Amino acid sequence: MQLKKGIPVSPGIAIRQAFVLDTEELRIPQRFIEKQEVDTEVLRFEAGVRGAQKSLAAEISRLDSKIAIHTQILEIHKDLVADPILKNEIIEGIRDHQYTAEHSVSRILNRYIKKFQAMNSPILAERVHDLYDVEKLILSTLLGRRMETINTLEQEVVLVAHNLTPAQTAKLDTRWIHGFATDVGGKTSHTAIMARALGIPAVVGLEEISTAAIGGDLLIIDGFRGVVLIDPDERTLEEYRQKEADTRRVARRLRRQTKLPAESIDGHPIEILANIELPQEVHASVELGAKGIGLFRTEFIYFQSPRNGEELHFQNYRMVLQELAGRPLTIRTLDLGGDKAVEDSTPIVEDNPFLGCRSIRWCLVRPDIFREQLRAILRVSALGPVRLMFPMITSIHELDQALVFVDQVKEELRGEGISFDEDIPIGVMVEVPSLALIADLLAPRVDFLSVGTNDLVQYTLAVDRGNEHVADLYDPVHPAILRLLVQLLAVGRKSDIEVSVCGEMASEPLYLPLLLGLGLRKLSVSPQMIPEVKQVIRSLKVYEAQDLASRCLEMSDGVAITRALKRWAIENLPEVGARL
C-alpha cells in the first residue's frame, strides 16, 4: 500500500480501479492470470512486441526522410521495444507474479520511468517520454479491440492524470468516472471547481500520482482528507468501505433537509444560490435547495463551440431559465484566459496569463465574441429574471467600457425589434483588490456586487490559486481578505446595494460562521455543498457568529484565525468539527 498526500478539493470517498490518463490512456482490464495460463501469456506478450515492431517499421517507412528527427525518435522506440533486458523483466513479471502481459508491461516500464524522473536529468527526461510512448504502443497492440479510452469506458474507475483541463473535466462521464486524482492543481483551480460541480471526490496537487499509480491498481480517493491510497491492504479497504457507506448515509440525511428554510436558530434568513458551469446542473441545484443561480460560468459554452456564439449561448441560457421556473439567474460574461486558456484566439502569447489578457480584458479585445454573448443575455432577459455580471473588473474605466457595449447591443436589439429587459440588473464580481478598495466609487454604477473570493485571495495575496507548491499560502481568512470583506459590506450597507459571495469560500463550512458573522446574507455555492451549507446555517446563532467575527477581526494572522474557527466549529457545529 502506498499513501500519497495532496489537496482535498471535492469531498467524498471513491474506491475503484485506476484509469491512468496521460501515461497509457488505456485501461488494463485484467491484472492477473492463472498459473496454467502463464506460457500462453508469454507468447501473447511476444506477439504483442512483434506487432509493435511491425507498426513502428511501417511508420518509419512511411515517413518523409527529410524529417530526420521523427525517424530518429521512432528508431529509439524500436530499440526500446526490442531491448532484451526490458523484455526479460516483463516476462519475469508474467512468470513469477502471474501478471497479465499488459500489467507487466505497465509495471516494468513505469519502474524505469520513475527511476529516470528521480535522476533529474534533461536527457533522461526525454527517455521518459519515449518510455511512455512505447508503453502505449505495446499496450494498444496487446489490447487490440479490447482497448478502452476515456471516451469508451465500460467500467467504473477513478481517473488519474498529471493534469486535467477544465474542458476535459467538463466532459467526464460520471457514470464511469467516480473520482479523480491529479499531480498538479489547487483548491480553487477551475478543474477542482468542476469536480465539486460534478459531485465526484477529487484530490489534486499529489505531485507524482500519475506515475505512482498504474492502470488497474485499486485506489482509494479520500476527498475529505486529501489522501490517495494505492493498493490498500484489507484492513484499510474495509475501513474506507465503511466510511464510504457513512458518507452516503449523511448525504441522504442532509438531502432530506432541502425543503427546510436556510435560517439560523435566531431567525436570520440566508439566501443560498448555486454556482453552475453547465445547464445540466440546474435541476440538481434546485432539488438540493438552491433559490436560483448566483453564478453561471459561461466559459464551457464557449469551449463546446467557440464559433456558434449568440445562438448557442441563448439556447443554454433559455434551458437554464426554464428549469429555474421563475427563480433568478445571474449570467457571468466570459471569463476566459488564466487556466481557462483559449488556444486559438488569445491575442498574444503570454508569460503570465493570470495577469494578462484574461476575463473582461479578453472580451474587450474580442468585441465580436463579447457582443454575441451580450445579445444572447439580453435576449433571454425577456423570458425571466436574468442579471448580467462582469468578471475581473479592475477599474471604473473598464466597467464603463463594458457598459458601452451593453448600451450598443441594447440599441441594436431595439432596432431589430427584439425584446429584452430594459432594466436588466448589472453587477460586477469583486475579484481584484483594486476594485474592492474603490467599491464606493463603483456602487452608484452597478446594481450588485458579488465577491469572487477565489480570485480575490489569489490577487490580494499574490498566490496562484492553481499551484500546489504555494497552496499553504492561499488563505481565504488572511486579515487582508477579511478587511476587504468588511469594507465591501460597509459600502453595500451605505449605498444600499447587494453584496454577496460566490467564491468557494462560501461553500466551506469552516468559513461560514465567519462570513455570516461579518454580515453576509446571500451566498452562491457549489450545488453539491448546498445541503451542508444549509445545515451549518440552521445550526448556528448569528449573534454568536458576530462575536466570533469580531474576535477574528482583531487577530493579526490567518493561522490564528483558522485555529479560532476550528475551535468554534468543534464547540458549536459538531458535524463540521468532527471532520476537522
Please give the positions annotated as active site. 190, 502
Question: Residue 338, interface with Mg ion (CB under 5 A)?
Answer: no
> Which of 144-152, 174-182, 255-263, 448-456 is the region at the interface with ligand PEP (rule: CB under 6 A)?
448-456
Q: Which residues, numbered 90-109, are part of the site for ligand PEP (CB under 6 A)? A: none
Partner from Mg ion, ligand PEP, none binding residue 499, C-beta < 5-8 Å depending on class: none
User: Residue with CB nearest ligand PEP?
Assistant: 452
User: Any contact of residue 23 with ligand PEP (CB under 6 A)?
Assistant: no
What is the rounded CA–CA span in Å between residue 297 and residue 300?
Answer: 7
Which of 262, 523 has the CB closer to ligand PEP?
523
Helix, strand, coil percentages, rounded to 5, for the chain: 55, 15, 30
Residue 475: phi and psi, rounded to 5, are: -125, 100
339 binds, among Mg ion, ligand PEP, none (CB under 5 to 8 A by kind): none
How many positions of this chain bind Mg ion (CB under 5 A)?
A: 3
Mark the segment that binds ligand PEP (CB under 6 A) among 53-61, 349-357, 412-420, 446-454: 446-454
- Closest distance to Mg ion from the beta carbon of 454 (Å): 5
The CA-based diameter of the chain, rounded to the nearest angstrom, is 81
Q: How far is CA 356 from CA 353, 360, 455, 516, 541, in A?
A: 5, 11, 14, 34, 43
CB of 392 to ligand PEP, least distance (A): 8
292 vs 452 by CB, closer to ligand PEP: 452
What does residue 389 show for φ and ψ, rounded to 5 degrees? -135, 135
Q: Which of 455, 464, 468, 475 binds ligand PEP (CB under 6 A)?
A: 455
Per-residue x/- marks for ligand PEP, 404-443, CB under 6 A?
Answer: ---------------------------x------------
Report, in Å, the least distance between residue 504 CB and ligand PEP.
Answer: 7
Exposure letters 448-470 (e unless 16+ CB within 10 A, then b) = bbbbbbbbbbbbbbebbbbbbee
CA distances from 552 to 452, 459, 488, 518, 538 (A): 21, 22, 17, 10, 22
Secondary structure class of 189 (helix, strand, coil): coil
**Are 90 and 134 a contacting pair, CB within 8 Å?**
no
Binding string, residues 430-459; x marks residues near Mg ion by CB under 5 A: -x--------------------x--x----
Partner touching 389 among Mg ion, ligand PEP, none, CB below 5 to 8 Å by kind: none
Binding test (CB under 6 A) with ligand PEP, winner from 316, 373, 454, 460: 454
Centroid of chain to Cα 459: 19
Minimum distance, C-beta of residue 300 to ligand PEP, in the bound complex (Å): 11
- State the minimum distance, in angstroms, from the CB of residue 484 to ligand PEP: 13
Q: What is the DSSP letter of 333?
A: P
217 binds, among Mg ion, ligand PEP, none (CB under 5 to 8 A by kind): none
Min dist. Cβ of residue 274 to ligand PEP (A): 12
Q: Using CA atoms, how far apart are residues 346 and 234, in angstroms rounded to an integer?
A: 51
Select from 186, 232, 503, 519 the one that contacts ligand PEP (CB under 6 A).
503
Distance CA 347, CA 349 (A): 7
Q: Which is nearer to ligand PEP, 223 or 503 (CB)?
A: 503
Runs of H (alpha helix) within 427-526: 433-437, 439-442, 453-461, 479-495, 512-518
Judged by CB under 6 A, how many residues of this single chain contact ligand PEP? 11
Looking only at residues 320 through 349 of this chain, which bind ligand PEP when binding is defined by CB under 6 A? 335
CB 453 to ligand PEP: min, Å: 5
Q: To 10 degrees, what angle do helices 68-82 and 38-62 make?
A: 170
Cell 507548491 belongs to 469
What angle, 0 to 180 degrees and rounded to 10, lies between the N-to-C axes of helices 479-495 and 453-461?
Answer: 130
Nearest-CA neighbor of 338 among 465, 252, 183? 465
Q: Using CA of residue 328, residue 330, residue 331, residue 337, what is the dihedral sign? A: negative
Reduce the DSSP state of residue 26 to 3 states and report it: coil
166 binds Mg ion (CB under 5 A): no
Please identify, using beta-carbon distances, which residue of 77 and 187 lies nearer to ligand PEP: 187
Give the other-Cβ count within 10 Å of 67's Cβ.
10
Q: Which residues contact residue 319 at a Cβ distance below 8 angstroms, ignoring those fewer than 6 apart?
A: 279, 282
Q: Is 502 in the site for ligand PEP (CB under 6 A)?
A: yes
Q: Does 453 bind ligand PEP (CB under 6 A)?
A: yes
Written as one letter, the residue type at 214 is I
Q: Using CB under 6 A, which residues numbered 516 to 555 contact ligand PEP?
A: none
Site string for Mg ion, 381-420 (x = CB under 5 A): ----------------------------------------
Residue 525 C-beta: closest distance to ligand PEP, Å: 10
Q: Out of Mg ion, ligand PEP, none, which partner does residue 503 contact, by CB within 5 to 8 A per kind?
A: ligand PEP
Q: Which amino acid is at 60?
A: I
User: At closest approach, how far in Å is the CB of 140 from Mg ion?
Assistant: 40
Selection from Mg ion, ligand PEP, none that 273 binds (CB < 5 to 8 A by kind) is none
**Which residue ranges make up the site for ligand PEP (CB under 6 A)?**
193, 295, 297, 335, 431, 452-455, 502-503
Residues in contact with Mg ion by the rule CB under 5 A: 431, 452, 455
